[in-house]
Structure 1
């Protein structure tokens, strides 16, 4: 069976820079071997990011684009961003273990996920988009406790990574929901040491509950979760302890996992990293796994110079990453704009799809 090929269709370069109509765009994706399109929509828009754009009003319509994609045989996934929003209420800004409030870093503005009012409103918006668009799936992204993981480099000390959230609301909820009383003078220290396991369990449970609320609200539509290439050995199991994603907690609410293998961003060797993480994940979940690969270099601005990232992804590296994903159930590409500007990326993707790598 051929693997699944999906693309994160973020931004509107396909209209604004490449001049494609909705019909032509859908045809382009089909000819490029794409099965699943993860599409942002105007009902529940993607907040500001590296690819934030707006389409010309007369050139784009959510419902029509969905129809065009389906006409070409593609599945349409509604994309929602859960806990990231630069314009959110300041009361949702998370607090780290040192008592510092995170107000954003570049494009990233992660939110504390423990506010029930925010979650209720967000889930209602997701449900509204699902009701109106009737997608083939819902892609739930930024569904985690805050963490600018793209800046975590090999060799970084876990003790130097910020962990969230230690705001008063999170502390109150932890106490009420676990029965543990925290000392008033050093709650973060207690949570990170004496109650580390309980704290991680609570965080992972809170994120799983949020996914469960989304699943219940979208009326049986399959849910794909935005997950990580980080494994248990990376940064002291930061994927669970900091980001709060654990397969065992998430499985009841998730149909498909995406694991982000952004090898240039995180300065990893895809040939080693991707197969090892896929094998680890296979032991923890029976759900399908899609390896998400970046199609072009990112984080090259001077503010990110400390990461010493490669300024390019060569064709050889792209094909190597695709080969490394052989044990996954398919691949996603972040993002469509990289395929549009580099035909060699499309050639590699087609070769992957047809087993020619």
Structure 2
């Protein structure tokens, strides 16, 4: 929106920055535009929800996405080693195997005349299994991790009513209690997995749990959502997988916005912002570069290369299925402050039944 560098949205409670150049400038200036609010609950937590979280010692001290202090660099460096270019490249065969197996099973179900959800049947689990492999984590219940992740995203970026928020708080507490169990085990036995590395870094239990909490969510659920969007946009026609990935990142990323807050009074364009002004930066669908979907600077997504690889591989493996199916409904959406993607993609083999919802 030219001429409107920042507009205050009363309903959201944020100064919205749509211009990609200004969003870039904000992301590259973490001293003026701090990340302190990056993982705060968009809907303030109720007393009842806080009590549930407090019972398991739930805490989110500054670690990665919400950290602009001195501890950010060593934590980020420790985690980044798990996502080195060599390690990410080496995991492609695993990603391809996981997708190929699920695509074959999906094809068989479609051939038998079944209605299939492409999100659950193909997109959901491979990113989780891949990131757990990279982080050296074994004995993780993937369906539980997926459920914990979706509920935590809704708790922190959604607008749940009081009853739903309390339900989500119980799920988040369950996830956090599991993280504490893994942290305790890592302190007893040294290891080279994520928890062992964070223990060796000298972090507190709360810092380890906070790092792992959002890393295990962002490291796989946002990729599942990116793949789901790419599938949706590819239905019914042949595509170039690499080009489709970049197009989705530019126009419909699974993380369309991100938050910052002003450290002091400052000017953005010609708009005067007081201290502690919350900003909502538009990262995608604003004619900006595809790469900006992953953020920039000190807090750029550590899994950007991995997400691109996994989405490309999923599209390559599923392309034959995607060209011969049609939706049986207009897909319901995950529609949170900073996360958006199809919740499900119910399809049948093209020509089976019902109206064609593909678009």
Q: What is the TM-score with the length of structure 2 in the denominator?
A: 0.26
Answer 1 or 2: higher relative contact order, Cα 8 Å, separation at least 6: 2
Structure number with the higher helix fraction is 2
